[in-house]
Chain A
Amino acid sequence: GENVEQHPSTLSVQEGDSAVIKCTYSDSASNYFPWYKQELGKRPQLIIDIRSNVGEKKDQRIAVTLNKTAKHFSLHITETQPEDSAVYFCAHQGAFSGGYNKLIFGAGTRLAVHP
């Protein structure tokens, strides 16, 4: 019940278009859903996150939506720019026995924004 499926694995868009990445999870106890951006050879960077008591969160050109009933959440990037090109990872986190939390990551989406 820990896995998270992420789609698509690759996404190519023209500059200015929107990009949407979707993730589906199975653990109903999950309560925190971050998104990370990882550029080649660099660390994953937290770009936006959402908690289970909220359905949508927006930060400038980036937004995340969460549907707890359907157990899926999505990242939306509007007005894409070439510097948005990177690998994006969704993750979810829930309480596990023993009182610790861990992030379960998707396999990643390689986003290419073409000028």
Chain B
Amino acid sequence: ETGVTQSPTHLIKTRGQQVTLRCSSQSGHNTVSWYQQALGQGPQFIFQYYREEENGRGNFPPRFSGLQFPNYSSELNVNALELDDSALYLCASSFGTGGEAFFGQGTRLTVV
């Protein structure tokens, strides 16, 4: 186990709704990155949070947003859900922005 935990593990939402996913980083880690993994594909980088600020973003629209808290846990928020948002959402924590990344077990989001 990596010490990175995500909640919930599974979620079903309706198109147009909003969702919040949560991630607790491994003890001692100050950086959280979020990834989207569609079925049969590799994870795609959404954004990274370092010391409570977003310091990098992938090719995702603004309706994907996030937060990092003083204890370095993080949230991923997705507004106006679309069917294509159905995927496994992974968070990874690391110490510093370039350190080894350890993944949580993921949240499986299904949009219907």
Residues of A at the B interface (CB closer than 8 Å) are 6, 32, 34, 36, 42-46, 49, 89, 91, 93, 95-96, 98-108
Contacts and interface: CB of A to CB of B under 8 A. Distances in A.
A99 B50 CA distance: 11
Given A34-B100, A44-B103, A46-B101, A100 B42 contact: no
B48 interface: yes
B97 interface: yes
A6 B40 CA distance: 13
Contact of A103 (B41, B43, B55): B43
Nearest to A96: B56
Interface residues of B, number: 25
Contact of B42 (A96, A98, A107): A107
B90 interface: yes
Contact of A105 (B43, B56, B98): B43
12 contacts: A34-B101, A43-B104, A44-B43, A44-B90, A45-B2, A96-B56, A98-B55, A100-B48, A100-B50, A102-B33, A102-B45, A103-B35
